[in-house]
Amino acid sequence: MTEEEAFNKLAAMCSTSEYCRFDMQEKLYKWSVPLDEMKRVLDKLENEKYIDEERFCRAYVKDKFRFSKWGKKKISYSLALKKISPTVSARFMHEIENEEYLEVLRNILVTKRKSIRAKDAYELNGKLIRFAMSRGFELEDIKRCITDFEYED
């Protein structure tokens, strides 16, 4: 694959969805593009605004929170795997409103609570905590929502 073909193929992909530099680099590795050409293609994609780390990060945080119902920790870890700077990701994580964040957490806990079988409240709470933590929510927020359930019952 030539440098121009690689650029055109990646530009077409970027025009339909948001990607980060790491995603594009992985594609180029898979296509066995030489390192010097890879750098030029990636730089050209950035210069022509096909890829933009901040734009990608904003969209990724919003999508993973709203559609996948992921917590901040899981989103942060996932962005770190994509080599997104922690300072960039932190800025967009703060855009998630706290009340909306807790509401999403409450909703997934209420839904999960209906499907859990437990001998007592202690076991039920343990299972809910493990579930919510696997979704990337913070322990303090989980405890607050579980405490809200106890007052509602």
Q: List, for residues 32-48, the tens digit of each pLDDT value.
A: 999 999 999 999 999 99
d(C-alpha 133, C-alpha 80), whole Å: 18
29 C-beta neighbours (distance < 10 Å), count: 11
Same-domain status, 104 and 142:
yes
Same-domain status, 111 and 148:
yes
Q: Is the pLDDT of residue 108 over 80?
A: yes
What percent of the chain is modeled with pLDDT above 90?
A: 90
For residue 153, the 8-state DSSP code is -
Q: How many domains does the chain have?
A: 3
- CB-based contacts of 109: which residues, under 8 Å, 6+ apart? 128, 131, 132, 142, 145, 146, 149
What's the token pair of residue 28? Answer: 């180029």
Q: Give the chain's length.
A: 153
Query: For the segment 77-89, what is each residue's pLDDT rounded down to a tens digit?
Result: 999 999 999 999 9
What average pLDDT score do residues 84-109 get?
A: 93
Same-domain status, 148 and 111:
yes
Same-domain status, 115 and 144:
yes
What's the token pair of residue 136? Answer: 């990337």
3-state secondary structure of 102: helix
What does the longest C-alpha to C-alpha distance in the chain come to? 65
d(C-alpha 133, C-alpha 109), whole Å: 11
Range of the domain at 11: 3-47
